[in-house]
Amino acid sequence: MASTPKIGDVIADFRLPGGRLDGETFRRADYALSAQRGRPLVLAFYPGDDTPVCTAQLCSYSDGLAELESAGAAVWGISPQGLDSHEEFARDRGLRMPLLSDEGRTVAKSFGITAPLIGLRRSVFIINGTGRLHWKHVTALGATYPPPTVLAAQLSALTTA
C-alpha cells in the first residue's frame, strides 16, 4: 500500500465519475483534479453512502459548503460506491457537493488510504491551487472527521500564506 502524500507533495492528476444534485436533477459528469488548478480543493474520502458517521460528515460539509466555497474552494466527496448509490444518498440527504465514485479504489490507493474490510480510511485532504497538498486528516479506523470550521481555517491559511 502506498503511503499518504506529505505536505507540499504535488498530487497526481486523476479523473473519476461523479454527480452533483442541482435542484431536482443529479447531474453526472467526470471530475478531474487538473480542472481545479488555480483554486483549492477539499477531498473528503469516506467509506460508505448512507452510513451513520459518513452521513454526519457529508451532511456537515454540505451544510458548511457556503463557507468553504467563500474561501474559494471546491469540495468533493469520494467513496467506493457507484453513481446510483451516490444519487440516492445525495437526494435522501440533500447533499450539495459532488460525490465521486472510486469503485476500483484506484484514487484511494494512490493516497495510501485503502483499508481491509471498510475499503478506505476516512480522510480529508486540502490541495492548494497549484496542486500541492496543503493539509490532511487521515484516520486509522475511527469515526472522527474535521468539522467545516477546521477546513475553513486551513483554507484561510492558504490565502494569508
Q: Which residues are catalytic?
A: 54
| Chain position carrying cell 468539522 | 147
Q: What angle do CA 66, 67, 73 make, to 5 degrees?
A: 85
Buried/exposed code over 20-59 (b: 16+ C-beta within 10 A; e: otherwise): bbeeeebeeeebebeebeeebbbbbbbbbbebebbbebbe
Which residues neighbour 132 within 8 Å (Cβ) at sequence distance 6 or greater?
A: 8, 9, 10, 11
User: Max CA-CA distance within the chain?
Assistant: 40
